[in-house]
Amino acid sequence: MKRRGSFCARSVHDVAPELVGATGLVDGVGGKIVEVEAYHHEDPAAHSFGGRTQRNATMFGPPGHAYVYRSYGVLWCVNFVCEEGSAVLIRALEPTHGLEVMAQRRGTTEPRLLAAGPGRLAQALGLTGEHDGLPLDRPPFELYAAEDVAIVVGLRVGITKAAELPWRYGEAGSKSRTSRIRPLRRS
């Protein structure tokens, strides 16, 4: 996308909604991002809250890199690093490229189960801890500017701290999201 290098070097609250509708590929496999969550460094739910550690070191590095961490010991989740130790968790995408590869990695051809959910998405795109810290503006990554899509805003899921913050963004009406977002507002 234009301004690719600096796109993430802004507030996570600006970057997160603008990523909805963008297309992201890894080695040519991926699709349209339809759901994300923002994690700010002053937000108790963020991994970077409380300062730099071994696991979250990438979040404190330069913006525009991938922060990949292991979740529940069994899966990987992918974030785009933004400014000041904040990041956008990529929660779901609508598969458009490399459907057969995704189906093989996921062990299903059911479209809804390919990349709806952060763990499924990482598996479908072949992302693991080896991608942690890699720049997003170079291969194997490709990013393309967002379509003009209607956005729904709601509460983040799966967290216990700061659960009331409306920092989850999705494409309105998408069938490739993880679940219904009870809309707080639209834009």
Partner DNA sequence: CCTACGATCCCCT
Partner DNA sequence: GGGGATCGTAGGC
In sequence order, which residues have a C-beta less than 8 Å from that of residue 151 and are 6 or more positions away?
17, 20, 169, 170, 171, 172, 186, 187
Give whichever of 147 and 167 is closer to DNA, judged by the CB atom.
167
Among 1, 75, 134, 155, binds DNA (CB under 7 A): 75
Helix (H) or strand (E) holding 113: helix 112-115
Q: Are 20 and 94 in contact (CB under 8 A)?
A: no
CB of 148 to DNA, least distance (A): 26
User: Per the structure block, which two tokens stand in for 186?
Assistant: 């639209």
Give whichever of 16 and 146 is closer to DNA, judged by the CB atom.
16
Give whichever of 34 and 46 is closer to DNA, judged by the CB atom.
46
Q: Given the DSSP bridges, would you call strands 75-81 and 141-144 parallel, antiparallel or unpaired?
A: unpaired
Give whichever of 15 and 121 is closer to DNA, judged by the CB atom.
121
Q: How far apart are CA 4 and CA 152, in angstroms?
A: 24
Q: How many residues bind DNA (CB under 7 A)?
A: 37
Among 8, 29, 33, 48, binds DNA (CB under 7 A): 48
Only one residue has tokens 């507002």, namely: 185
For DNA, the binding residues (CB under 7 A) are: 37, 39, 45-48, 50, 53-56, 59, 67, 70-75, 77, 79, 87, 89, 106, 113, 117-121, 156-161, 178
